[in-house]
Structure 1
Amino acid sequence: MNILVAPDKFRGSLEAEEVCDAVTDGVKRAYPDAKVTAIPLADGGEGTSKILTQVTDGWEVPVTVMDPLNRQINAIYGLSGNHEVAFIEMAAASGLRLLKQGERNPLRTSTFGTGQLIVDALDRGVKKIVLGIGGSATTDGGIGMAEALGYSFKDNDGNMLFPDGQALGKINTIDIRNVDQRLGSVSIIVACDVTNPLFGPDGAAVVYGPQKGADPEMVMTLDAGLANLAQVATRTFGRDVSLVPGAGAAGGLGAGCMWFLNAVLKEGINIVMEQCNIASLVADADLVITGEGKVDEQTLAGKVVKGLAGLCKSHNVPLAVVCGTLQITPEEAQAAGMTYAVSVLNRPMDLNAAQCEAFKLVSDATFQLMRLFFFSRGAV
């Protein structure tokens, strides 16, 4: 019996590798002879670079870059074992987790450090860059990243602008004369798990600005600034990408990557599954077990579970899901392609207790689902 274990992390409790260990423990307790293949997954957000680096036998590269508020920090990205692919997370240089609560201000934050990571990868001669853009502290439309790569942004008087959120509304021209020419010979794929446009009521500033520290007035300023960037960038590059799904991801970095890097946006989970060769592993499995901290409506919109559900359905392989919190109905689970979905919580408990006992809870829940699965097939 071949069991494929392919979970995301349980945020705040277990990393994806630890979830793999806990699920494998539960499988082996229930059915010691089962053959288990464990592959940690991610949806393009935090942890994606580490996982992709590991599956390509690569290593982590340390770099000194600027954080969202232009302070020097140490960041890392991954390099594949064959030196050809860089795995970068913008959150490593421009993430919200790098700022204290009182420092959050998307008018002042910049993606310049993300651009520095890309420059370092170009210096190492990579042929491809996979860029995850989750967890940003910024709403600068990617102009900070672009400046690190040789772009410059000027106002009506020809003055250079510092590339942060408050500069967006002042941009009149984009100077492309000093852009790093190596960008033309590198394939750049952006892992993106949201579908927001660049600006407007569903755009980057309105939807995500408040969680980055923006008050209502800031949101209006940033939204108008992103609309201005769209106008200038469309004039400069000859194409308007502001309505492309994902353009508003990471404070407009999605659109910025398309304009400034000629990048392609893809669902993060599809990128990870492709790199990990998950399709062939699913085809050979008798059961796939996945999971994440919370299964809810966002899960159904493009997380790890949804990505695996599609593959399992196409190969007629049952999919079991273990999670900390289950917030969808049985009908929604079935419609999404989940054969079995269960919360690991076995009694009322607070968050701290659940996090402390996470490994055992996941293992026990897996044990129970395995006994049920094998009993239904007459194996136990």
Structure 2
Amino acid sequence: MTAAPAGAALNAPLRVLIAPDSFKGTVSARDAARALAEGWQSVRPDDEPLLFPMADGGEGTLDAFETAVAGSVRMPVTVQGPDNRAVDASWLLLPDSAGAAGGTAVIELANTSGITLLDPLLPLDAHTLGFGQAIAAALDHGAHRLLLAIGGSASSDGGVGALAAIGAQFLDAAGRPIRLGNRGLGQLARVRLEAMRAVPPGGAQILSDVSNPLLGPNGAAAVFGPQKGANPDQVDGIESGLLRLARLLPGGADTPGAGAAGGTGFGLLHWGARLTPGAAAIGEAMGLADAVATAAVVITGEGRFDSQSAAGKVPAYVAGLAAASGAIAMLAAGEIQAPSDDFAAAVSLSELAASPEAAMAEPERWLRLAGARLAGSLTHSVTR
């Protein structure tokens, strides 16, 4: 762990902004922020913590918007989950600041078609139909604009399930609908998009935390297939199915972010949605830049800080805001697998707990200790 820069002013009480992402599958962003604050205040009790739980388009995006936007309303919806079982989910209705009728709908793929809904994983058969059903529900409600958070996907179906739910047709050589999931793409012979519902007047933004293309060594199959349970042979099959889809829906496969959520980004681009870095969109809604400007120290974090973290994920976005305002940036992550040079101090929960398994078993315990360690690094830099 590197030490924060010294400064006499750091002896005085400080405002400390704490803005982590969720630690996927272990602790929510809200609980992570609270645990880090408790640890920090055990060392520096006079400091003022400001909690800004964040998200980047994955799990916890609805929670982040609900925290940030006064007057938002959870809208319950039951959808067909990634393994065809019914899932009680919700989308979020935001009041429209411009006064447009219908408001803005935030729809999170993670709570309708997400990987945490599966046990065991189904790399070839999981699908995004439920995500599309939630989109349809928001359209039925009259939403003026859609924010589509697509992180945390269970599937590699290229967004075919989601598009089918809003009217697209994906047919085999006999003109029959293909089966859901990537496996069905092997039989895909024809795509008909003319019956798809229109994008709402205010548009549809895809909130994504990755910049991967659809195909190739950095694409959806190669990078994300193993995370969704695919073995090497299945990764090759997933790639083949997505390639077949791309040949029938030409254009957009090389767009950064087209490979997000098993290619759901690619499918939504063909609907007419546009890609937006998720953390920046959510941070803007929360007024995070203005809040960071009032803080002396900013702490962020996520489950795994790795080479993908610079591609629109929360820690890189928050570190950029801290650098712009002159605040000290610090990082707490479950694992740190990439250089953390943008942070004055960085703590790995896995190192604190002696193993990733121990860290994941008691994440809030180790987050509290991480908060204390980060505060201690600041205090040490002043007193040494």
* TM class by smaller structure: 0.7 to 0.9
CA distance in 1, matches of 2:93, 2:122: 30
CA distance in 2, matches of 1:178, 1:67: 23
CA distance in 2, matches of 1:308, 1:61: 29
Once the two structures are TM-superposed, the CA of residue 349 in structure 1 deviates from its matched residue by 4.2
Equivalence for 2:8: none
What secondary structure does 1:366 align onto?
helix
Equivalence for 1:190: 206
CA separation of 1:186/1:354 partners in 2, compared to 1, >3 Å: closer, same or farther? same
Q: What RMSD over aligned residues (CA atoms) do the two structures have, in Å?
A: 2.7
**Residues 308-327 of structure 1 aligned to structure 2 (within 5 Å):** 308-327=318-337
Q: Gaps (5+ residues) in structure 2?
A: 1-13, 97-101
Check if 1:104 corresponds to 2:122: yes
- TM value normalised by structure 2: 0.84
CA separation of 1:112/1:363 partners in 2, compared to 1, >3 Å: closer, same or farther? closer
What secondary structure does 1:333 align onto?
coil
Partner AA of 1:119 in structure 2? A
Partner AA of 2:330 in structure 1? A
Equivalence for 1:164: 181
Mean CA deviation greater in 250-259 or 346-355: 346-355
Mean CA deviation greater in 24-33 or 35-44: 24-33
Which of these residues, 15, 23, 34, is aligned with residue 10 of structure 1?
Answer: 23
Which of these residues, 256, 260, 268, is aligned with residue 249 of structure 1?
Answer: 260
Check if 1:220 corresponds to 2:236: yes
Equivalence for 1:292: 302
Partner AA of 1:22 in structure 2? A
What secondary structure does 1:45 align onto?
coil
Q: Gaps (5+ residues) in structure 1?
A: 235-239
Task: Choose between structure 1 and 2 for higher RCO, CA contacts under 8 A separated by at least 6 residues.
Answer: 2
Once the two structures are TM-superposed, the CA of residue 150 in structure 1 deviates from its matched residue by 1.0
CA separation of 1:299/1:212 partners in 2, compared to 1, >3 Å: closer, same or farther? closer
Mean CA deviation greater in 88-97 or 39-48: 88-97
CA separation of 1:168/1:341 partners in 2, compared to 1, >3 Å: closer, same or farther? same
Mean CA deviation greater in 341-350 or 198-207: 341-350
CA separation of 1:69/1:359 partners in 2, compared to 1, >3 Å: closer, same or farther? closer
CA separation of 1:202/1:5 partners in 2, compared to 1, >3 Å: closer, same or farther? closer
Once the two structures are TM-superposed, the CA of residue 288 in structure 1 deviates from its matched residue by 1.0
Partner AA of 2:214 in structure 1? L
**Residues 267-278 of structure 1 aligned to structure 2 (within 5 Å):** 267-278=277-288
Check if 1:139 corresponds to 2:139: no
Once the two structures are TM-superposed, the CA of residue 97 in structure 1 deviates from its matched residue by 2.5
8 Å contact kept, 2:210–2:308? no
Once the two structures are TM-superposed, the CA of residue 256 in structure 1 deviates from its matched residue by 0.2
8 Å contact kept, 2:123–2:156? no
Partner AA of 1:251 in structure 2? G
Equivalence for 1:94: 113
CA separation of 1:361/1:96 partners in 2, compared to 1, >3 Å: closer, same or farther? closer
Which of these residues, 330, 340, 352, is aligned with residue 333 of structure 1?
Answer: 340
Q: Deviations over 1:287-328 (max 9, x none)?
A: 112223343333344432111111111222111223343444
- TM value normalised by structure 1: 0.85
Q: Deviations over 1:33-78 (max 9, x none)?
A: 3332211112221111222122113232221111123333322222
Which of these residues, 132, 136, 145, is aligned with residue 128 of structure 1?
Answer: 145
Equivalence for 1:24: 37
What secondary structure does 1:185 align onto?
coil
Partner AA of 1:55 in structure 2? A
What secondary structure does 1:290 align onto?
strand
CA distance in 2, matches of 1:256, 1:285: 40
